[in-house]
Amino acid sequence: MTYLEKVRAALEALRAKHVIITQSDTMLSLTCIPDSSALHTLSKIKERPGPFILTGSSIEQLIPYINLEDLNNSQFDALTKYYKHPTSLIVPAREPSIITGHTDKICVRILHPCIMRDISVLGDIPLLSTSVNPAGATPATNMVTATQYFDNDYPFFLDTNKAPLHSASHILDVLTNNFIRK
């Protein structure tokens, strides 16, 4: 299967509201589209009702989920800034939901180059991302561990041409300008 075929197959699975395991710009990721059916499945897999990181290939894909009225100019600029290391940003949510863990904040990230970003570009859709592990377990860093965790219950797509960083993204609270994880 070519790289483009993998991207198309992953996008097809996502549009069918499946949760997939793919490679993000930081590590392996349980991924789905922000749809209530897919989110329900993701919450069941993770054994928790969110929050999850909303990722996209552009700020335009993320803006519908962000309450821009609560951001000043410098806070908005943080959304479009390029970060050398993948950085997730906590910002005001447009509305509490399962994505936000039913809080008034949402965690968003513009993806660095990876198969997940290419899926987002091809489908012109944002994607939810969370580590590949059941609650309390160490995140999977390879497909062998991922399949052990989930017994091949979900479609798997992996870009074998690029190794993930195997480290989580930094997390910056844009409202306080403090890093929560770095």
How would you classify residue 156: left for phi > 0, otherwise alpha for psi between -120 and 50, otherwise beta? Answer: beta
What are phi and psi for residue 136, nearest 5 degrees?
85, -10
The three-state DSSP-derived secondary structure of 117-169 is HHHHHHHCCCEEEEECCCCCCCCCCCHHHHHHHHCCCCCECCCCCCCCCCCCC
Q: Which residue shows structure tokens 């991207």? A: 7
**pLDDT number for residue 155:** 65
pLDDT in tens, 118-147: 999 999 999 999 999 888 899 988 888 888
DSSP 86: -
Confidence of residue 14 (pLDDT cuts 50, 70, 90): very high
Q: How much is the pLDDT for 108?
A: 97
Task: Quickly count: other Cβ atoms within 10 Å of residue 129's Cβ.
Answer: 26
Distance CA 53, CA 69 (A): 21
Task: Map out the domains of the chain with their CATH numbers.
Answer: 3-181 (3.90.870.10)
pLDDT band for position 162 (cuts 50, 70, 90): low
Burial class (CB in 10 A: 0-12, 13-18, 19+), 32: buried
Amino acid symbol at 35 = D
Q: Judge contact between 32 and 39, C-beta under 8 A.
A: yes
Give pLDDT, residue 83: 86
